[in-house]
A and B are shown apart, each in its own frame.
Chain A
Amino acid sequence: MHELSIAMGIVEAALDEAQRRRVQVNAVHLRLGALSGVVKDALMFSYEVACQDTPLEGSQLIVEDVSVVVFCPQCRETRTLPSVQLFQCPECGTPTMDVRQGKELEVFALEVEEDEVQEHVVQESEVKK
């Protein structure tokens, strides 16, 4: 089980971003690929442990599952795999290892508390878009 060290990595990344923006974090949104090698339930449990005695204590971890998307060389299209046990195009059955999505292990957003400091954050996120 390596989910605790992954959870600590999530907390570290979230804290770093939160401190830079001087915001209080209510929830951390994570994109978790089906090929990331991380077990979601174990991660949810580990997250609570990893948050203890940090400013993230009491925050929520919200996980968005990311399915595996491959490119089918036959159809010339990207396809979502229904299962990670079968790497072939679900439409035509052509085997493929051209993985375009599904390895994600990414803190992609923080749900933060609005306050005066937020003016700055709004501008920063506007710029990013």
Chain B
Amino acid sequence: MTLIAETELQSFVLLRLGDRRFALAANQIAELVPPSRIFRFPHHTSEVEGVILRRGRIVPVCDVAEKLIGKVLKSRRFYLIAQRCYGAQTEWVALPVLPVTGDCELINAEMTLPSDTDAPHVSGWLSHAGDVIEVLNLASLTPGSSELASATAPLQPLEARP
């Protein structure tokens, strides 16, 4: 019995947006990085604020706070670097967050699957420390189409050719 219960537990990272906490599957998370310089250039994808430079990679910053809590985070922000799937490809995206304080950044919990009435950005629910926490579906929260991936250049940095 214990063995079955343990295999159903999954690891999640909690993030704080405003007064609310949300969760992402830990296997989607690359790292939490301190406030970094954001580079902006003209584009028409309103959900993307700009890009940050991290370990030689250029990572788009997708502010999900407005969709989730109805306001943009203005205070000193950290970035949670997560993997976003585009069809068969994955790319990093940076989500501005307020760092979770306390001892529960990484938790093991059992996820309840979403119901038909849940918003598309909810991939499940966790019960943790008296809170019910939404597990986020990045594909629904961040821009970009899954079909796009097959029609575009590969994910890895391209070497410039003369």
- Do they bind each other? no
Q: Which residues of A contact B (CB under 8 A)?
A: none
B interface with A by C-beta (< 8 Å): none
